[in-house]
Amino acid sequence: MTFANHPMPGVPRDTVRRIGLLGGSFNPAHEGHRHVSVEALKRLGLDEVWWLVSPQNPLKSDDGMEPLATRVARARMIAHHPRIRVDAPELLLGTRYTLDTVRALRRRYPHAKFVWLMGADILPQLVRWQGWRELFSTIPIAAFARPGWSYPALLSTAPRAFARYRVTAEQARGLATCEPPAWCFIPSRLDSHSATAIRAVRVRRPKPKGSAIPDQQLRQLADRSKATDAQLTLVRHSLEDDKAEDIVVINLKGKSSFADYMVIASGRSTRQVAAIADHLADRLKQAGHGYIPIEGKQVGDWVLVDGGDVVVHIFRPESRTFYALEKMWALESDAAAKPASPPRRRGDARTRARPSARPA
């Protein structure tokens, strides 16, 4: 019995567990990865989730890539969950592409029930993956909602090619036992963390050399509420100036670690949605909030502006109704108000769409 035959230490070869596989470079791992994993455990009825840290993603440059050992160590620190395992099995399996890795793991653990996990933003990229059609035929796939990508991602090539094999979100707990091809889209509560955004704002700060921080400065650092409220006011004024509609503010203090406020608004067209996002990011930057990541602007159905303490989602009305973020957070916050729905037209399937239904 050799270690090479057991790429995930501590897992017996005859395991019959339901296991979600979340692969990637994890450069760096962040709360978004953990969020998807915890959602997968709950929504798919999995026993475990394995984070497969890739030595080198074949579709990404190695510029700015942290050493593998560093990425694995950070991933383990971020995961911090008894049912999430983190390792780099491709190093032992000798595989590089996802399809080869999945096939190798199925050979090593023939009785396990595997599901491939991904953010919905990956769906449009699947056609660039080596053997992507074979991947659909090898392992069930679950795609989780991601800001700015989920709605249009469902209309991309890969999900359209396998549309008839889609499992509804209500049937997702049985996905692990489905014979592939089988896949589903999970419209779960969203997490705005992005490895790209984290790398973009990462700054190396020199360590203090023995000097204590003055008490006055400590008090200023501890009291962020006034600055956050001022940022929220700026966001609201910017949205109102650009004629955004149905503005809703959800207070996340004490309920989420990624922001203090979530703001949801609508634009009448993709052009207006993109313009609202651009103007908001510029105003936040001019106010001294630094680099402001924007996701989803290239599509314009759903754009996320990450202001740090205040995260803003800007939708077209149809996309906003489809995802119903206010409803997803209804149990978390009494501040969520139901937005006005776009006028229903006879025969318009998008006005009748439910989160688990396919958009027209």
Give 273-289 pLDDT, tens digit per residue: 999 999 999 999 998 88
Same structural domain, 118 and 234: no
28, HSE (Cβ side, Cα atoms, 13 Å): 18
Is 359 part of any domain? Answer: no
Same structural domain, 41 and 127: yes
Please identify every stretch of the chain with a pLDDT value under 70, giving residue numbers as ranges. 1-5, 57-64, 146-152, 188-225, 254-258, 323, 327-360
What DSSP character marks residue 310? Answer: E
Same structural domain, 165 and 275: no
Q: Which domain holds residue 125?
A: 3-186
Same structural domain, 81 and 157: yes
Same structural domain, 236 and 320: yes
Q: How far is the C-alpha of 50 from the C-alpha of 84, rounded, in Å?
A: 6
**How many domains does the chain contain in total?**
2
Is 198 part of any domain? Answer: no
- Distance of CA 51 to CAs 82, 91, 195, 322, 347, Å? 13, 14, 15, 30, 44
Q: Given the structure tokens 């592939």, which residue do they identify?
A: 180
The one-letter code for the residue type at 47 is D
Same structural domain, 157 and 249: no
CATH of the domain at 305: 3.30.460.10
Contacts with 183 (C-beta within 8 Å, 6 or more apart), sequence order? 136, 140, 141, 142, 143, 159, 162, 165, 166, 167, 175
Give the model's pLDDT for residue 302: 82
CATH of the domain at 12: 3.40.50.620
Give the model's pLDDT for residue 62: 63
Give the model's pLDDT for residue 5: 53
Whether 117 contacts 22, CB under 8 Å: yes
Same structural domain, 32 and 135: yes
- Model confidence over 71-126: pLDDT tens digits? 888 899 889 899 999 999 998 888 989 999 999 999 999 999 999 999 888 888 89
Same structural domain, 265 and 136: no
Same structural domain, 229 and 182: no
Q: Given the structure tokens 């139901």, which residue do they identify?
A: 338
Same structural domain, 246 and 136: no
Is 182 part of any domain? Answer: yes
- Distance of CA 216 to CAs 16, 222, 223, 224, 336, Å? 58, 10, 11, 14, 36
Is 23 part of any domain? Answer: yes
